[in-house]
C-alpha cells in the first residue's frame, strides 16, 4: 500500500462500510455547495478489511431488516413504539424517528443495488416475518441468509467502482490526530491511520481527509459468542484512545438461541424461527417462556436470554430446546434452508426434533458517541454501524434494527462528508510508525493465555446476570491484564493477535466500568444486587469520558 492521500478511509467492510463507500463513490455533491467547491474528480476511497473482504458480522446475519413496508397493516408509529419499548426507556427518540422514517427508502436503495429478498408464495409481494419485540410483520429477509445476500450484493457494486480501492488483510492500529486546525470544531482532527499489513506485519501511516470507523461490535470479549473472530471492538478501542466519548457499554445483547454442539462454532439460530411459532422448552419438553413474559418466545431478547439462563441454572442443564416441528418439513426447508442444512450436518433434523440452544454474546448496544450524521467528538472522524452509539437501541436492541441502522447512518454520513470534502486539504506528512526500539517475540503463548483468560472472566463475571462482587473481581483482573498487555505491546513487534487483544482489553474495561456505574437492572444489564429499574437516578445514558478528552 502506498502512502497516497485518500479523501476517505473506511475501516470495515460490513453493511455499514459498504453502504457509505457506495454512497461516497458517487461524485455528486450537495446542491447547496457553490460551483467553485464542486469536486472535479470522484473521491479517492480506501476500503479496509482486516481479513477477507466479505468477512464480518453482516455475512452471518440471518433474520433480516426491519422496515415499514406493509403500510396497510403497519405504520412508522408502530415501529417507533416497538423500538422504544424494547429499549427500556433509554432510546433517543430523535434517533429512533430518524432511522425508522428512512427505513423504506433504505430498503429500496438496497433493492436498487441488486439485493434479492424472499417473496410470498405465488405472489410478487415480499415475504415479511415477525421477530421478538415487533408488534407486526415487518422484517424483510432473504430466506435465512439475509446478511449474505446483502453483503454479496453490495460488494458486487463496490468492486465496479474505480475510485474505491480494496485492501484486504490490513488492520487499523491507531488513529493519527492533528491538534491544530482552524476549520475543526474541536481541538482534535483525525488526519489518517496507522495500518498493519497482516501478511508481513509492516505498519504504514496513511493520510486521509476523513476517516470512517465501521468496524462492528465487541462480542468476542466473551467466551461464547455468535460473532465471527473479527468482532474485537477495534473501532471503539481506537476512538477511546484518541479521545472520543463512549456510551452504554454495559448493554451487551446475548442472543437467546445459538446452536449447542461441540463442533458448531458460533452458529446462530435465527429469531425468525420463534417468529414462525417455534417454542422454547426444557430438556424434558416443558415450555417455560409463558412464565416470564406474556409475549412468550416473542419477548425482547434481554427477557428471553435471562429466562433461558435462569432455567439452565435452575435445572443444571447445559442447554434448552427450540422446537419448530409443528411446522411442515416443506415450510421449514423453504424458510430456513441454511439452518436446516447446518443442523443436519451435525445430525439434528429440525423437521422432526428440537434444536439444542444456549445464549451467546451477540451485539454491542453501546459504542462511540455520534450525532445523526455519524460524526464523533473528533473532527473528520465518523463512526457508523455497531461500533457507534446513536441512541437507537437504548438498553436493548430490537431484532433486525441493526442492519437498518447500518444502511440509514451509512447514507447519512456519506451525504455529510460529500458536502464537506472540498473544505479540507490532505495532511501530506504524518508521523511515521516507530518500531526501532522493539524486537520480535518468541513468547506468543503470553498473548494466547491472556486472550483466553480475558474472555473467560468476562463471561463468568460480566455476563447475562451480574453481581457487584463479580464486577469488582473483573475490574481487578482487567487492570492486571492491561499492564501485562501494555508491557508486551511496548517491547515487541506487533501483529494482529496482539492488536486485537489490546483492543479487547480496552473494551472489557469500558464494559466493566459502565456496568459498575449502573446500580439498577434495565434492559440487557441485569444485576442481582439491584434487580429493579430506578428511573429517578438511572434513566440516562452511561457516558464515559477519556482522561485526555478536551
Note the pLDDT tens digit of each residue in 103-147: 999 999 999 999 999 998 877 899 999 988 899 999 999 998 899
Q: How far apart are CA 516 and CA 527, in angstroms?
A: 10
- The confidence score (pLDDT) of residue 549 equals 44
**Known catalytic residue at 301:** yes
Q: How far apart are CA 190 and CA 172, in angstroms?
A: 13
Alpha helices, H only, 6-92: 15-25, 57-60, 76-86
- The confidence score (pLDDT) of residue 41 equals 61
Residues 6 or more apart in contact with residue 469 via CB below 8 angstroms: none
Spell 387-424 as b/e; 16+ CB within 10 A means b: bbbbbbbbbbbbbbbbbbbbbbbbbbbbbbbbbbbbeb
Please compute Rg for the chain using Cα positions: 23
**Are 266 and 254 a contacting pair, CB within 8 Å?**
no
User: Which of the four pLDDT bands, split at 50, 70 and 90, describes residue 2?
Assistant: low
Give the tens place of pLDDT for each residue, 452-506. 999 999 998 999 999 999 999 999 999 999 999 999 999 999 999 999 999 999 9
- The confidence score (pLDDT) of residue 547 equals 76
**Are 485 and 449 a contacting pair, CB within 8 Å?**
no
- The confidence score (pLDDT) of residue 3 equals 56
Query: Residues 18-31: what's their mean pLDDT?
Result: 76
The residue to which cell 483525525 is assigned: 190
Give the tens place of pLDDT for each residue, 179-188. 655 455 557 8
Q: How far apart are CA 418 and CA 8, in angstroms?
A: 10
Predicted TM-score (pTM) of this structure? 0.90
pLDDT at residue 29 above 50? no
User: Out of 274, 301, 455, 466, which one is annotated catalytic?
Assistant: 301
- The confidence score (pLDDT) of residue 31 equals 39
pLDDT at residue 38 above 60? no
- The confidence score (pLDDT) of residue 36 equals 36
Domains defined for the chain, CATH in brackets: 6-59+163-251+369-423 (3.50.50.60), 63-151 (no CATH), 259-362 (3.90.700.10), 444-529 (1.20.58.100)
Q: How far apart are CA 503 and CA 314, in angstroms?
A: 35
User: Which of the four pLDDT bands, split at 50, 70 and 90, describes residue 378?
Assistant: very high
Which residue has better confidence, 326 or 33? 326
Give the tens place of pLDDT for each residue, 391-449. 999 999 998 999 999 999 999 999 999 999 998 888 778 899 988 888 887 677 888 89
What is the percent of the chain where pLDDT is above 90? 77
pLDDT at residue 263 above 70? yes
Amino acid at each position: 500500500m502506498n502512502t497516497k492521500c485518500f479523501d476517505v478511509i473506511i475501516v470495515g467492510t460490513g453493511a455499514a462500510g459498504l453502504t457509505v463507500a457506495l454512497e461516497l463513490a458517487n461524485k455528486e455533491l450537495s446542491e447547496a455547495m457553490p460551483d467553485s467547491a464542486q469536486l472535479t474528480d470522484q473521491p479517492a476511497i480506501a476500503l479496509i478489511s482486516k481479513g477477507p473482504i466479505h468477512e464480518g458480522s453482516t455475512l452471518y446475519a440471518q433474520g433480516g431488516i426491519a422496515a415499514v413496508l406493509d403500510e396497510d397493516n403497519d405504520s412508522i408509529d408502530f415501529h417507533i413504539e416497538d423500538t422504544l419499548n424494547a429499549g427500556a426507556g433509554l432510546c433517543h427518540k430523535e434517533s429512533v424517528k430518524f432511522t425508522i422514517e428512512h427505513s423504506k427508502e433504505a430498503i429500496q436503495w438496497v433493492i436498487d443495488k441488486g439485493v434479492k429478498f424472499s417473496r410470498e408464495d405465488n405472489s410478487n409481494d415480499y415475504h415479511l416475518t415477525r421477530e421478538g419485540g415487533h408488534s407486526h410483520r415487518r422484517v424483510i429477509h432473504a430466506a435465512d441468509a439475509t446478511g449474505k445476500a446483502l453483503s454479496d450484493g453490495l460488494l458486487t457494486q463496490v468492486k465496479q467502482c474505480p475510485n474505491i480501492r480494496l485492501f484486504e488483510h490490513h488492520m487499523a492500529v491507531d488513529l493519527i490526530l492533528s491538534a491544530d486546525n482552524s476549520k475543526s470544531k474541536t481541538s482534535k482532527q483525525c488526519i489518517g491511520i496507522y495500518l498493519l499489513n497482516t501478511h508481513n506485519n509492516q505498519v504504514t501511516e496513511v493520510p486521509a481527509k476523513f476517516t470512517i470507523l465501521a468496524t462492528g461490535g465487541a462480542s468476542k470479549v466473551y467466551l461464547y459468542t455468535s460473532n465471527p473472530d473479527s468482532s474485537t471492538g477495534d473501532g471503539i478501542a481506537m476512538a477511546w484512545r484518541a479521545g472520543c466519548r463512549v456510551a452504554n457499554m454495559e448493554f451487551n445483547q446475548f442472543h437467546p438461541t445459538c446452536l449447542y454442539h461441540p463442533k458448531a462454532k458460533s452458529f446462530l439460530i435465527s429469531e425468525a424461527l420463534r417468529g414462525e411459532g417455534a417454542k422454547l422448552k426444557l430438556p424434558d419438553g416443558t415450555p417455560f417462556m409463558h412464565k416470564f413474559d406474556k409475549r412468550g418466545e416473542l419477548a425482547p431478547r434481554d427477557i428471553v436470554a435471562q429466562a433461558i439462563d435462569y432455567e439452565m441454572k435452575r435445572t443444571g442443564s447445559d442447554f434448552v430446546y427450540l422446537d419448530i416441528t409443528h411446522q411442515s418439513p416443506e415450510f421449514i426447508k423453504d424458510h430456513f434452508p441454511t439452518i436446516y442444512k447446518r443442523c443436519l450436518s451435525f445430525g439434528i433434523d429440525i423437521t422432526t426434533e428440537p434444536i439444542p440452544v444456549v445464549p451467546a454474546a451477540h451485539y454491542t448496544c453501546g459504542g462511540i458517541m455520534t450525532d445523526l450524521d455519524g460524526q464523533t467528538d473528533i473532527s473528520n472522524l465518523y463512526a457508523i454501524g455497531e461500533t457507534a452509539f446513536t441512541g437507537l437501541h437504548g438498553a436493548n436492541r430490537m431484532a433486525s434494527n441493526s442492519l437498518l441502522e447500518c444502511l440509514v447512518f451509512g447514507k447519512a454520513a456519506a451525504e455529510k462528508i460529500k458536502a464537506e470534502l472540498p473544505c479540507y486539504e490532505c495532511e501530506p506528512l504524518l508521523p511515521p510508525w516507530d518500531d526501532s526500539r522493539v524486537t520480535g517475540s518468541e513468547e506468543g503463548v503470553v498473548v494466547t493465555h491472556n486472550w483466553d483468560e480475558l474472555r473467560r472472566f468476562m463471561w463468568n463475571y460480566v455476563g447475562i446476570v451480574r453481581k457487584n462482587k463479580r464486577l469488582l473481581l473483573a475490574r481487578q483482573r482487567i487492570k492486571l491484564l492491561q499492564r501485562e498487555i501494555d508491557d508486551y505491546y511496548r517491547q515487541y513487534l506487533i501483529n494482529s493477535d496482539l492488536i486485537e487483544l489490546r483492543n479487547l482489553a480496552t473494551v472489557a474495561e469500558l464494559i466493566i466500568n459502565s456496568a459498575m456505574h449502573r446500580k439498577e437492572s434495565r434492559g440487557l444489564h441485569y444485576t442481582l444486587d439491584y434487580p429493579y429499574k430506578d428511573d429517578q437516578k438511572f434513566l440516562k445514558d452511561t457516558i464515559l469520558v477519556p482522561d485526555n478528552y478536551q
